[in-house]
């Protein structure tokens, strides 16, 4: 079946520009997550959506970062006034439920990521 | 995502041998742990998970061991194959269940399988 998809796969932008990254989760998954992976680093949690609940934004590094999820499906991560330190791979994941524990439906499936380069 | 990491620890293993990848965690409140495999240019792929009320769980060719006393997690891969070459991440759920399933990832270990 179709997995998590992300677009674009690569994005090069100039410092100061805004960018939008898109995530299409697996159909029927209620939970959606955004992570960031900088060069040579592990994944850093950014934001989490679960159903119609208010998102957990605790991982967003600054107010230049925002995300929304429309209709409980597609999500867009927006970075305003991009900086060079924003360069990273942005990964989206979805899970059937938001409850911790893979065998409770909380297993997260990742998309291929969007590589963002800010010049 | 690509993991060209100058600082990634690397495990070189001969094809057919067993691999053991280790991970230390710091939060004693973490109650759920996962291992992910990430190949170059791809997102992380779930391998196996374990809850804190367990100390061992087995999958196909993989075993995860959890030692809560020393806050240590390991992944054992039996009969390592060339396709196992990747970066492996451990991840933990640090928050209460009410806080959702956000994961905290370790820095990763690169596994190179020699033919």
pLDDT of res. B27: 84
Helices (H), B1-115: none
Percent of chain B past pLDDT 90, that is, above it, reads 63
* Greater pLDDT, A24 or B94: A24
**10 Å Cβ neighbour count for B30?**
20
Encode B63-88: b = buried (16+ Cβ within 10 Å), e = exposed: bbbbeeeeeebbbbbeebeeebbbbb
pLDDT of res. B6: 47
The model's confidence at residue B32, banded by pLDDT at 50, 70 and 90, is confident
**Residue B24 bridge partners (DSSP):** B72
pLDDT of res. B7: 64
Length of chain B, in residues: 115
Collect the ranges in chain A with pLDDT lower than 70: 1, 98-106
Could you give the CA distance from residue B20 to residue B57 in angstroms, rounded to a whole number? 14
Would you say the C-alpha torsion A5, A6, A8, A10 has a positive or negative sign? negative
pLDDT of res. B29: 83
Percent of chain B past pLDDT 70, that is, above it, reads 88
pLDDT of res. A98: 59
Say which residue the tokens 């996962």 belong to: B34
Considering only CB atoms, which chain A residues are within 8 Å of B102?
A: 33, 45, 48, 56, 58-59
pLDDT of res. A53: 85
**pLDDT at residue B11 greater than cutoff 70:** yes
CB-nearest partner of A45 from B1, B34, B104: B104
Considering only CB atoms, which chain A residues are within 8 Å of B39?
A: none
Q: List the single best residue of B33, B37, B64, B102 to mutate versus A (max A Cβ within 10 A).
A: B102
pLDDT of res. A105: 52
pLDDT of res. B89: 94
pLDDT of res. B4: 37
């Amino acid at each position: 079946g179709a997995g998590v998809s992300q677009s674009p796969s690569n994005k090069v932008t100039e410092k100061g520009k805004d960018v939008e990254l898109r995530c299409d989760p697996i159909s029927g998954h209620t939970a959606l997550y955004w992570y960031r992976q900088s060069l040579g680093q592990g994944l850093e949690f950014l934001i989490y959506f679960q159903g119609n609940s208010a998102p957990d934004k605790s991982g967003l590094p600054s107010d230049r970062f925002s995300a929304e999820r429309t209709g409980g499906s597609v999500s867009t991560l927006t970075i305003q006034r991009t900086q060079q330190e924003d360069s990273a791979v942005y990964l989206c994941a979805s899970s059937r439920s938001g409850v911790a524990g893979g065998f409770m439906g909380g297993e997260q499936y990742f998309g291929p990521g969007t590589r963002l380069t800010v010049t | 995502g690509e993991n060209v990491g100058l600082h990634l620890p690397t495990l070189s293993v001969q094809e057919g041998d067993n691999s053991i990848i280790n991970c230390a965690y710091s939060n004693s409140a973490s109650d759920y742990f996962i291992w992910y495999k990430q190949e170059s240019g791809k997102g992380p792929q779930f391998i196996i998970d374990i809850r804190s009320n367990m100390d061992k769980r087995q999958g196909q060719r993989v075993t995860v061991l959890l030692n809560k006393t020393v806050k240590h997690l390991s992944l054992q891969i039996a009969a390592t194959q060339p396709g196992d070459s990747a970066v492996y991440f451990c991840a933990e759920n640090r928050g209460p269940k009410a806080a959702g399933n956000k994961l905290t990832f370790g820095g990763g270990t690169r596994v190179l399988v020699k033919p």
